[in-house]
Structure 1
Amino acid sequence: MGNNRIANSPTLAKIRKFGGVMSGMVMPNLGAFVGWGLMAAIFIPNGWFPNEKLGEMVGPILNYLFPLLIGYTAGYNIHGQRGGVIAAFATMGVIVGSNITMISGAMVMGPLSSWLLKKFDQKVQHKIKPGFEMFVNNFSLGIIGLLCAIFAYMTVGPVIRLLIVIITSGVNWCTAHNLLPLLSVFMAPAQVLFLNNVVNHGILAPIGFAQVPELGKSIMFLVDTNNGPLLGTLMAIALFGRGRAKKTAPMAMFIAGIAGIGEVYFPFVLANPLLVFATMGGLAVSLFLQVIMGGGLIGVASPGSLIAIAMMTPKSAIIANLVSISAGFIVSCTLGWLLLKISPGSEDEEEDNPVIVGGRQVKSVTDFVPGITPSVSAQATARKSIQRILVACDSGMGSSAMGASVLRKRLKEENLDAITVVNDSANRVGKDYDIVITLSGLLERAKLSCENADTAFITVNNFIKLSDYDETVAFIKQHNQEAAT
């Protein structure tokens, strides 16, 4: 249980929330990234089918469209349509003020400009005289947007350009001296602590996009998305583990490898932290081989599946990527086997999945019966039946979507299919849900973003396992029975 306390610490939850905010800027736009990656892989001079005319779209999309999309999405997440518009306007400041792709600049100016506008709107919304709303709204957005764009052009753009140049130089130096495998020391733990989006979207992807125009590919796109090592760790659990972990690891391998949802792997390592060294070793070997053999991708592989990796692989890196990913799988599987011999049972321990209502943990469904815990019952019942459930993962697009589908199926079997089940990020819980279902590692983050004291939180070990929703079904039935009396 000690590792769970670390994984759920408030400080770590705030860091994860920051990573979730960054992920929330990028994830909704991944379809555009995939389209661009395919275009680049096919039409650039060293692509599959080079085409000078069609290849002319690659640069403008990378340098203009992506920063604007990310900036707009960041602003929209903070302040709706107005936030998106001012964020896109301010993002043009960093785009024009730099000669490199300003994805990082968009991640700064998008949230900053929309937050400033949101604060201004909150201050003046009750002071505007009737009939002047449109005048004030348009001019406030225009003036604040103008100031933000100038600020971005003069300061943020040059500073970020300098930082990216420094970091890129460091990465190039590490690559030249075969030290890039050291990234595995940071990436493997970051993944299982749900911090991978902070590193991937905030640092690695911008460097990768800066390298692609010159090199035609980048290893940076294969640091986080390389699922060979994590598949090797899951294979070790499937072959040499015990109990529930051994039974569910094969399905997790399929989901992580084919569907590209790496989050299904995280709970296995959180249950047995020693296994992070298996993934770390596999990733280090994989990165080493990519450096010496010239591996890399043309763009972000999203979702991070073997299929997406293959689609983003340029001709010059086919053998390197195939060998390095396969080697990472073999090494991590071997290390996982050795580590499981050292700690053969820790990954199989049953973990409690508590129900938390109003900040109080309830150990079992019977605790909701009136007379046993009346204070909790009063809050939990809220005099209405369960109507809306949120299944929340890190990004709100991968494992939570599968979990929501599994839960809908389970509720239909229990004749509870009138309940609405949706999925989203643990960063966007809000106030509209009666129950939030998430992984234990995301619990604190989900609670931080919740605005309803009556919301119940239930953790699961595996989003895709029907039996993991037993506690949820029991809670709903007990709750609805109380609400009806």
Structure 2
Amino acid sequence: MTTASAPASGAKKAQVHVQRFGTFLSGMIMPNIPALIAWGIFTAFFIEAGFTPNAALATIVGPFIHYLLPLLIAYTGGNIVYGIRGGVVASIGTMGAIAGSDLLIANFNATLPEGAAPLGQVHMFIGAMIMAPVAAYSMKWLDSLWEGKIRAGFEMLVNMFSAGIWGFAMAILGFYPIALIVNWLMQVLSNAVNWLVEMNLLPLTSIVIEPAKVLFLNNAINHGVLTPLGIQQAADEGSSILFLLEANPGPGLGILLAFSFFGLGAARASAPGAAVIQFVGGIHEVYFPYALMKPILILGLIAGGMTGVTTNMLLGGALRAPAAPGSILAVIAQTPPGKYFAVLLSVVLAAAVSFIVCSLILRATRKRDLEELALTDDAFGAAITQTEAAKGKSSDALRNLRGGAATQADGSAGAATATEKEIRSIVFACDAGMGSSAMGASVLRNKIKKAGIDDVTVVNKAIASLDGSADLVITQNQLTDRARAQSPNAVHVSVDNFMNSPRYDEVVDLVKAQHEDAGA
């Protein structure tokens, strides 16, 4: 547990900035995933190729994706920056971008020779993600110019008209330059993806995506590029392979299974539970620490990812909408009719290849890992592992003993000696404020309840939503620098794994000791 950090290197600062950018994108997209799921259900049942075609209900599909979803994203992004006022102005600006894009495409189609295929609509997802911060930040800046200078009784008049007038200006900005830029950008990105597909090079994207995921940079790639392009492609063709480039749970399952069979110490003990949470719950973050503790295992993830993408390319696997969270259940729910075999095979093969490569690496480095483990705080866990190895089989009794063995996230001082700050509010923070942080909060909440402590709150939030009110903030160690910058006065705890960290017991001990001292 630490309350200060050393100055970050240039590379670390760059990573933090990219993570922060990805978090903002995620903050706009993730709350609106239910709307994307609802749209996917409409398309699954009511379009001409759906399970139960219905021409009347199918009419909602187009307006849903063309208007509602971009406007929801714009409002959410604006609200993150400047509350409801920012959300309203951002939505107005995005409506201008939607109308401008439609006019540009209509004018282009009017020039086409008779019989030529017209361009389809461009859905302003990227436009909304651009307009939201631009409109909200500029509105916030304008309001600061006359803050405290408005004559009493005229505040509402000024606030309403200033937002309306600035919304009008943002709609003009969206209608002309933003619509043109986004249409061009979508065309460039679509051409790049089509070229990768035609050249059979799409599997190479795993070389970027898989390492980016374990560094918590996946949101910038997934929500910034893959989701907007995938939705555009799904609207035109009914499904998109792009939804499976990052969301395929196979590679993560493979590395966790490898640790379950060939890992050591606490990593091996926690891997089976992590595999269930990752594969069924869709919380991919749980496998990131396993890869980071031995970075060469990223090669296994890349191999698994490339295998999954190749399988989908060859067999036509695709999803009709994003699988969020990246659970096998969500993947199956978003799979169109006729593509189940390809999609499920891609998951199985990705997991198998990742498992084989990671297992070979773990077996090849096992002797050295045992020696290193014996020198760490997990010497007890290493002794258990060595005893099991000597026996030639695992032991339930020894496995139960392993519950007391674990390595601290960063080797820093324990919670009980790190701070005298009274802990009443504990926040688990991650990129999106869902998934992994919710899981960690649930684990610690149960531990605190069992300890008989009833006046300490444990909640989960996105890092961007930290407001300084928390007494103690828990993050995965790759995200602690960002959390510390967002909430500098809190005590910060870094963990390797939200699911099973010894730091939780330290926090419980600290809070319990404080209560005992207060009652003395």
Under a length normalisation based on structure 2, what TM-score does the superposition of the two structures give? Answer: 0.84
Which of 38, 42, 60 is the matching residue for 2:41? 38
Distance of 2:49 and 2:9 partners within structure 1: 47
Tell me the residue number matched to 1:143.
Answer: 165
Tell me the residue number matched to 1:83.
Answer: 86
Tell me the residue number matched to 1:473.
Answer: 508
2:66 maps to 1:63: yes
Distance of 1:251 and 1:188 partners within structure 2: 22
- Conserved 8 A contact 1:298-1:312: yes
Counterparts of 1:174-189 in structure 2 under 5 Å? 174-189=196-211
Q: C-alpha offsets along residues 425-457 of structure 1, whole Å, 9 cap, x if unaligned? A: 12222211000011101101111222xx43100
Tell me the residue number matched to 2:486.
Answer: 449
2:273 maps to 1:272: no
How many residues align? The count is: 460
SS of equivalent to 1:231 = helix
Displacement after TM superposition at 1:367 (Å): 4.1
Distance of 1:6 and 1:340 partners within structure 2: 30
Distance of 2:329 and 2:263 partners within structure 1: 27
Tell me the residue number matched to 2:424.
Answer: 387
Q: Which amino acid aligns with 1:59?
A: G
Q: C-alpha offsets along residues 33-66 of structure 1, whole Å, 9 cap, x if unaligned? A: 1111122122222222222222211111111111
- Conserved 8 A contact 2:416-2:507: no
Which piece of structure 1 moves more, 46-55 or 61-70? Answer: 46-55
Q: Which amino acid aligns with 1:43?
A: F
Counterparts of 1:24-423 in structure 2 under 5 Å? 24-98=27-101, 99-344=121-366, 345=369, 351-353=407-409, 363-365=413-415, 367-368=417-418, 380-381=420-421, 385-423=422-460
Change (3 A) 1:432 1:165: same
Percent of pairs with identical residues: 39
Distance of 2:163 and 2:346 partners within structure 1: 50
Change (3 A) 1:93 1:244: same
Tell me the residue number matched to 2:18.
Answer: 15
Q: C-alpha offsets along residues 186-209 of structure 1, whole Å, 9 cap, x if unaligned? A: 000111011111000100011111
Unmatched tracts of structure 2, length 5 or more: 1-7, 102-120, 379-406
SS of equivalent to 1:218 = coil
Displacement after TM superposition at 1:6 (Å): 8.3
Q: Which amino acid aligns with 1:66?
A: L
Displacement after TM superposition at 1:404 (Å): 1.1
Tell me the residue number matched to 1:372.
Answer: none
SS of equivalent to 2:465 = coil
Q: Which amino acid aligns with 1:230?
A: G
Tell me the residue number matched to 1:432.
Answer: 469
Q: Which amino acid aligns with 2:506?
A: E
Tell me the residue number matched to 1:359.
Answer: none
Q: Which amino acid aligns with 1:101?
A: H
- Conserved 8 A contact 1:7-1:441: no
Q: Which amino acid aligns with 2:462?
A: S
RMSD of Structure 2 on Structure 1 (CA): 2.1
Distance of 1:94 and 1:153 partners within structure 2: 4
Change (3 A) 1:6 1:302: farther
Distance of 1:474 and 1:354 partners within structure 2: 19
SS of equivalent to 2:308 = helix
Distance of 1:39 and 1:19 partners within structure 2: 29
Q: Which amino acid aligns with 2:328?
A: L
Q: C-alpha offsets along residues 196-254 of structure 1, whole Å, 9 cap, x if unaligned? A: 11000100011111111222110110011101111111111111111111111111111
- Conserved 8 A contact 2:415-2:507: no
Unmatched tracts of structure 1, length 5 or more: 356-361, 369-376
Distance of 1:312 and 1:461 partners within structure 2: 31
Displacement after TM superposition at 1:7 (Å): 12
Q: Which amino acid aligns with 2:211?
A: P
Distance of 1:129 and 1:92 partners within structure 2: 33
Distance of 1:199 and 1:106 partners within structure 2: 16
Q: C-alpha offsets along residues 364-403 of structure 1, whole Å, 9 cap, x if unaligned? A: 34644xxxxxxxx6xx53xxx3211101112101111111
Displacement after TM superposition at 1:484 (Å): 7.5
Distance of 1:8 and 1:420 partners within structure 2: 35
Q: C-alpha offsets along residues 132-167 of structure 1, whole Å, 9 cap, x if unaligned? A: 110110111011111111011100111111111111
- Conserved 8 A contact 1:410-1:466: no
Tell me the residue number matched to 1:459.
Answer: 494
Q: Which amino acid aligns with 1:284?
A: M
SS of equivalent to 1:301 = coil
Under a length normalisation based on structure 1, what TM-score does the superposition of the two structures give? Answer: 0.90
SS of equivalent to 2:475 = strand
Change (3 A) 1:311 1:264: same
Q: C-alpha offsets along residues 264-285 of structure 1, whole Å, 9 cap, x if unaligned? A: 1111111111111111101101
Change (3 A) 1:70 1:130: same
SS of equivalent to 1:427 = helix
State the structure with more CA Rg: 2
